[in-house]
Structure 1
Amino acid sequence: MSNEQLSERHVQDAFHSYLKSSLTQAKIERLLDADVLSSAEGDLMITGPALCLYFAALRCTTNPPSVPLPRSNKSSQPMDLSPTNCPPAFLSFLRLWANTVHPIQSLPPEQQHDLARVICGLEPLSQPSNPAINGIAADLRAVAIEISQRRSFQDRYASDLQAALDSGGGPSSPGVKKASFVPPPLYDPSPSSSANSSPLPSPNSQLPPPSPQYANHNLPPQNPSNLSPYGPGTAGSSSSSTRDSSPSPTILTAESPAIEFIRETLYASLGDVLETYPSLQRLLKADPTRAYFAAVAFAILHVCATSITPDGVGVRGILGTTLTAGEVPLELRPFMSELLSVAKQAKEIEVEDDEIAMKCAVEGREPPDAPRMERARTMLLEGVGYQFSQNGHDDDGRRRSLEGRAVAFVNRVNALALGMTRLSTFRERQDDVFKVLSGIS
């Protein structure tokens, strides 16, 4: 095993080689069908890398766990990816994956297969099911989400899917279907951004306006003080009285689809998000692509906290308009339903955090851990491996467990953000949105 640090490109090539074989294997075992692979619907952007990590765990034969890398040619020496030769950019991924190897290998074969099914969004076959499987799947998905946010992954994922579609075996014929996955737009900071930097843009540097169809609603003029710095909306405004007094004309007309309402409501909250979390602005310089996904995830949390109707069945967003779950077209209802469910769970988490804090205060002691919502926000910003130090332990020396509910919640928010930003209507404005975001630093 070599201790010389491998290049990022070497590791990327190995990962995508295994990813192609993992997707092919999943197709052969009917965990993923050709229609799903070609359309890249749902959270396949997460499922694919998670499957790759699962199969890598099954192949692992070393202790501590390492990943056997494919040979570049027959004469090359076998090599493993280990903590001693892993590029720093991937070290947290490797450590988090290593924590799942023993739990996965300890499962009986039928439960290992159930784990693969859960990763692919299928129900386990064994009854009663092993509850530990859901925790392991959440761990793998947490690492997979981090991988899927890397531009180097996004640029190559379509060819990975196509390789699985073209492979022999399985229920489809080679060449019949084509992978339709399209990576998000490139998010390169403007060359002039550093010359005109400011903590937040002025109200005159708002996002380009949404589709002109919104002008057809005859809405009254809006008080400029209620506008988010990022767009034409009240989502994110801290003035509940102003929002409550706003008219609520229907947004659902042929000219303005519901998805535009959801998109503009999320984008309108980005100004408040960036003002609240200045570290997001720093991330925009260090890793623009990941910063975009993090910003959308935080915008989702912001909408969940400020814009959900009291009965939990609708969203109040741009121009005071309310959209209820029942008014959303069928193809968008999974997104709307998940947004409302995330909002409900976020509220439950914050209530539980408050109860723990109050109990500790009464007992005169400090809470044993940071509030769960605070941990979730930190993971959204820093990545799921943020607590690991160089020796693979938490800062307090204890081994970090990824089985906490905070990780599952973060996965849910990240998956919703990834799914929404892949919709064509979101992609239409992502370039415009990120031009403004990348100018803030």
Structure 2
Amino acid sequence: MKNGQRFSILTSLIAALFILSMFSVAAVAQNPNGKEKSANQKPQMNVNPASFGNTAQLFDNAKTQFENALKQFNAKKDAASKQDLILKTQDYLEKAIDRIVLQLDVVKSRIENPGSQGVIPFNVSNNIDAHVAELEQLRTKVQQDNTTSELSADNIGLKKIYANISLENRYDYEILLDNRINTFISKSDNVTARLDAAIQNLNNKSKDTSALVAIRANFTNLMQEAKADQQNTDTLLSTHAGFAASGMVINNTDAKAFLKQVDDSQRGTIKILKDAARQLQEFVGDYRRLSGGNAVTGQPNNQVNERNRRTLVMGTGTLIANGSGRAVIEGNVTITLSGINDVLLASHNSAVTTDGGTNQTLGNGQVQYQGFNSATISGDNIRIAISGNNINLTATGTSAAVLNGNGTYSVENNFSVNGQWKKGG
């Protein structure tokens, strides 16, 4: 399983925990995620998102030209086609180096954000700097080499460097993901206490809470199982087979086997956490039915303030929402939006394009956009918040969205929805 897939699953768990804050104040008075969101804001990424596309396009062009030159050489076998192949090979290898260096810049930017500080027990930035220096040395060699055999050896060397970089990046993200899983597991006791408070609130109203008690027991059992699985992952990570204490690869074969073990262990834990999230969603649905009110204020459904409706949407596919108020979306997603007097806050790793207006990097690392009529936002593990009137947004991908205010929505493919916004056509 790819790291992006794991984080998208954890997004559903974040949203399920957030659901608890939608209970009546008598049952749950605190947003379980509020503090964490503040603590985990990230600084502005140092890499211009536009450079990703440019570098990738240059690499693709160089690859195509190399492949064409190789075909010509195989067909003609003359001096001219051989020289052209050498030039195209040099360019292809240099563009590949450019692309890898840019990827390392992105990794370094993410690793150096405050939310990751102190989590990884070695200096990832130093490792990345060492690899960049290694790649630049190889670039110099590629520029100087002028035979097919020399360039073939350079290609083998580049593949070896990239293989080690890929393994080390996986290792770094396994550690970050392990920390994130531990953080969520540590919240389980607090969540259980909130479930108990909600059950007691209904008991005080002489409601039959047997179904909620059963769901609460299932949730507790799942979290105990997750804790046991996570202990296995923590033990595995402490061995770091195939890696030096510095986090760099010392044995490629051992490193691959080690990462597969960690990956399999984390996959099992995340599956359990996803099941626990479903239990929380089921709890919310039953609680709302028994309380005869909405999950925000506890008022009867026909007394919901039109300006303060709230709806939670989670899943994979396309969400279309139209209304006035505020929308918060997290996940691996592409969003297009338009509105009146919109204010957009986007996490540092979001690729944002607007048709005008201004932008400002805030102290917490987010970027604020104003004065635009339309915008497109995309990325993995991004978070955006949009406020305004007559907002029209379309979000495609795997995400969790909280819609506040008044409006309508529609979904395509696999989504779960809880809240008071009306379903549109």
TM-score range, shorter chain: under 0.3
TM-score scaled by length of structure 2:
0.27
Q: Which of 1 and 2 has greater Rg?
A: 2
